[in-house]
Structure 1
Amino acid sequence: MDKKPLKRHQALQPLSRDHHQGLLLCWKIRTGFGKGVEPNRIKSYADWFFENHLIPHFKMEEQHIFSLLEDDNALKRKALDDHKALILLFSKTDEVAKTLSDIEKQLDDHIRFEERVLFPEIQKIATEEQFKTIEAMHHEKPFVDNVADSFWT
């Protein structure tokens, strides 16, 4: 029996769109490697993306999404651990190519976990009032990319 995907609640849709941009970062890293782009160029873009998009996204999730789950919830713990691991990876300055490869893999895995496992669980337990709070807290802005060095094109 096929299980239809759960339609994403409108309060979580902006976060899913953020996730799409994160998956594009992963694609850009892979494309940069495939084109033989110097790793420091890719790292420069990844650092910009981290500061301007991932950090605010992580804060939003931790304050307003993960908080809907009990502290001892295994999914919440995994999501928080993923965030910590990604923050550590982005802060590394040595072994740039390996670090970028690790970022690409871990970020891709983390986004897919949130989309396929965590968000469906949130949708099962959150009340309409909680979703309204999420909508009020997350003011989606159009994604503006840094194309100063479009190494992926």
Structure 2
Amino acid sequence: MRHLATHDPLTGVANRTLLLDVLGQALPQAHAQHTALGLLYIDLDQFKEVNDRWGHQAGDTVLLATATTLRAELDGRATLARLGGDEFVVLLNPAPADPEALCSRLRERLAEPILLDGEKYQITASFGYVPLEPNDTAHHALSRADAAMYSAKRAERPEG
């Protein structure tokens, strides 16, 4: 029952409840041990188009592939969570020395084509990374990472 309450039923990764719990425990521990933490917010671009074009089963395939790829690329000290819809968050403990390189590597891996109804589909994603601050709460840290992702998404969008 606890597993069902704390994990995403589709992908098997942590859900928002578990992420906030782990984050709430990690923040004071990292502060006490002088360890840097990072939070990476990932939003799949044009995910609605997948559901509209191929249906929700294809959307589930994309979400499963995303979770599988992220799990394979992250080491065991990272906590991967799906917040819902097409949003994933990664608690990085410790924070990476080069977050831009990590985002670049994840972006490349996620861009590897997936077959949907016989057609190749390429996932794109927007990333928002924040180093966690000593005064962060779990909710505040998540909010800052979300804002960083939306800022990155706006910056990546062509002017129109």
**TM-score, normalisation: structure 2:** 0.31
Give 1 or 2: higher strand fraction.
2
Of structures 1 and 2, the one scoring higher in RCO (CA 8 A, sep 6+) is 1
Relative to the length of structure 1, the TM-score reads: 0.32
